[in-house]
Amino acid sequence: MKLNRPYSLLEISTLLSCEFVGEENHIVAGINEIHMVEIGDIVFVDHPKYYEKALQSAATTIIIDKIVPCPPGKALLIMDQPFDGFNFLTNYFSPIEEPKEDNQAFIHPSAIIYPNVYIGNKVKIGKNCRIYSGVSLMDKTEIGENVIIGANTVIGHNAFYYKKKAASYERMHTCGFVKIASDVEIGALCTIDAGVTGVTTIGKGTKIDNQVHIGHDTKVGENCLFAAGVGIAGCATIMNNVILWGQVGCASNIVVGEAAVVLAQSGIAKSLEGGKTYFGSPCAEAKEKFREMVALRQLPKFMNDL
């Protein structure tokens, strides 16, 4: 998320009522979680295991719970609870907006919007789209041209991202959105979550069946095909021309290579090379998995022969 203007380190530290390490006129231009950071962004870190990752990321300002050596050109904001500081800033710069009569949405005159569709603030809908009854398009959702969205689908709901506290979980404030390119078709009862601070994207020409879930900040490429029941966790990258058959589950922070095919009910636990067919849970190349299944069928005979 980019800020409405550049802020100085001193201004941000004043908002957070915290100490800082660095030049007081050091520039802060955006706020992003670690998977999305760019130069000028703030990120937070609250565990020594991840200090180095945050300090060496593209982020130039780090909210951290301990004073550590600060890399050149960067700055630190020192807080006991960095997550709380990060959440304060995202809420401050991008607060939840209540539904408005003048919601600044743009709907192309050629788009067909069925009854009982909810359209949030600053939504954009391109020409020749067809949005069926019961669809919810949450704030800032962007939809290209010739897009079809089936009944009761929800686009842009809050990211499923929580911090474990002593007696509960606290949700990270969602200030990202969803961007759907042209010629995409999305079935009924699907859910596509907004990015936490960035954008969840669906590439041009991708076709999505009913009851598919796509998590926050996931990038889906062009001309992909997802069958019913597919579930993709947050921050995954699905390259172009990937096929995921029914009930495939995909872990977070992985890459599925271009033109990979994953057969039904498989579980993707780690990144997959493109151009191959996969099966099983955890999945591997289908031919290998089928050989394993044949071998397993021989086990009863093998045991009886002992």
Residues with catalytic roles: 216
Reduced to 3 states, what is the DSSP secondary structure of residue 292? Answer: helix
Query: Cα angle vertex 157, ends 185, 85, to 5°?
Result: 140
- What phi, psi does 129 have (nearest 5°)? -80, 155
Q: Which of 7, 19, 156, 136 is nearest to 82 (CA)?
A: 19
> How far is 38 from 2, CA to CA, in rounded Å?
10
DSSP alpha helix (H) spans, the chain: 9-16, 51-55, 82-93, 286-297, 299-304
Burial level of 63, CB count in 10 A (0-12/13-18/19+)? Answer: buried
Mind spelling out the 3-state secondary structure of 38-99? Answer: CCCEEEEECCHHHHHHHHCCCCCEEEECCCCCCCCCCEEEECCCHHHHHHHHHHHHCCCCCC
> How far is 221 from 204, CA to CA, in rounded Å?
7
| Overall residue count recorded for the chain in this entry | 306
In the block, residue with structure tokens 């071998």: 295
Q: Do 228 and 246 contact (CB within 8 A), yes or no?
A: yes
